[in-house]
Amino acid sequence: MVAKHLSFVQALTVPEYAALTYIAYIDFGGAVIFNGNLNKNDLAKFIHVSDAFTKEILLVWSEINYDDNITSTENLLSLPLWQNSLVRIGNKPIYYKSWSSKGIEKVRHLRKDADNLPSFTEFKERFDVKTNFLVYHG
Same domain, 60 and 92: no
**Boundary residue ending a domain (26, 43, 65):** 65
Tell me which amino acid residue 114 is.
Answer: A
| DSSP strands (E only) in the chain | 88-89, 92-93
**Boundary residue ending a domain (49, 65, 81):** 65
Tell me which amino acid residue 69 is.
Answer: N
- Rounded Cα distance, 21 and 30, in Å: 8
Provide the 8-state DSSP code for 94.
-
Same domain, 123 and 105: yes
Specify the number of domains making up the chain: 2
Residue 81 domain boundaries:
73-136
Per-residue pLDDT averaged across 38-50, rounded? 90
**Boundary residue ending a domain (47, 65, 83):** 65
Average pLDDT taken over every residue of the chain: 83
Same domain, 61 and 109: no
Phi, psi of 78 (to 5 degrees): -90, 0
Among 56-60, 74-78, 113-117, which range has the highest average pLDDT?
A: 74-78
Same domain, 12 and 45: yes
Same domain, 96 and 43: no
pLDDT for position 99:
95
Same domain, 57 and 78: no
Instruction: State the burial class of residue 107 (Cβ atoms within 10 Å of its Cβ: 0-12, 13-18, 19+).
Output: middle
Same domain, 79 and 42: no
Per-residue pLDDT averaged across 33-43, rounded? 92
Closest-CA residue to 105 (of 10, 31, 55): 31
β-bridge partners, 89: 92
